[in-house]
Structure 1
Amino acid sequence: MAEYTIILDDLAVAMRLGIHPHEATPQRVLLSVHLTVAYGRTPEADDIAEVLDYDGIRDGIHALAAGGGFALQETLVERVAALCLADPRVREVRVRSMKPDVFPDARVGCEIVRRRR
């Protein structure tokens, strides 16, 4: 078995995220995803068909961002983790969200790790 970590780092999306009135309009959110992926063997053909195509993860995150929004970062990261774990080759996923513009002196975020059972 061959195991790899696929990284999608600081993907910037505009979305509704938060509980405060000023967060009713889309704001910038940064999402980072680290996926531990297991393949039956080392990819040999240098072909995307042999591995997880991270375009699907990126597209899925953009679709979540374009939806109705979320009150909590916790809900957002759980949805992203579920999206990633839908691929049976994903063994573990770490998802981090950051709202970089909420405070002038700090970024606020949430991070989870979910493993396939």
Structure 2
Amino acid sequence: MTSLLLAFAALDPRLATECRLLSLRRHERQVRIGVHEFERSAPQRMWFDVDLCVKLEAAPAGRDELSQTLDYDFIRHVIADAVGTRHHALQETLCDAILQALLLSPQVQAARVGTRKPDVYPDCESVGVERIRLKPW
């Protein structure tokens, strides 16, 4: 398995030594999204993949308590808030909104967000967008 923390470290080595990586994989939600007419008639499945580099000083896990790290519910709530109930035209803007909201947390130093729509075309598994962003130290 490839280390995503080391992949982040290629962007800034401190991410590997001063952060821990938290991941949420294939979180599925029904989303009103798309520009095609067939996408506007009903919500469709979307998958969300999120990786967060969380500063060790803010999430030391020194004790075996939830208060010692970042709760995964935070990621799920950010996605839910960004999805909301309105129709989104583009995955790109939804992905950017999620990324921006995640980086508002002082615990998060860097983040990667990937979004995928698995039901758009019958001849492929999914279509998707990915973004990565780091905050200044």
The Cα of 1:63 is off from its aligned counterpart by 2.7
Bigger CA drift: 48-57 or 62-71?
62-71
Q: Deviations over 1:39-85 (max 9, x none)?
A: 21732111111111110210221232232131111101111101211
CA distance in 2, matches of 1:67, 1:38: 32
Q: Higher relative CO (CA 8 A, sep ≥ 6), structure 1 or 2?
A: 1
Indicate if the aligned counterparts of 1:97 and 1:109 stay in contact, CA closer than 8 A: yes
Q: Which has the higher strand share?
A: 1
Q: Which residue of 1 aligns with 2:50?
A: 33
Bigger CA drift: 22-31 or 38-47?
38-47
Q: 1:7 aligns with which of 12, 23, 32?
A: 23
Q: Could you list the runs of 5+ residues in structure 1 that have no partner in the other structure?
A: none
CA distance in 1, matches of 2:118, 2:106: 32
TM-score by length of 2: 0.79
Please tell me the root mean square deviation across aligned C-alpha atoms, in Å.
Answer: 1.5
CA distance in 2, matches of 1:67, 1:35: 25
Percent identity of the aligned residues?
34
CA distance in 1, matches of 2:85, 2:96: 15
CA distance in 1, matches of 2:63, 2:87: 40
Q: Could you list the runs of 5+ residues in structure 2 that have no partner in the other structure?
A: 1-16
Indicate if the aligned counterparts of 1:15 and 1:28 stay in contact, CA closer than 8 A: yes
Q: Which residue of 2 aligns with 1:75?
A: 93
Whether 1:17 aligns to 2:36 is no
Bigger CA drift: 60-69 or 7-16?
60-69
Whether 1:110 aligns to 2:126 is no
CA distance in 1, matches of 2:85, 2:106: 25
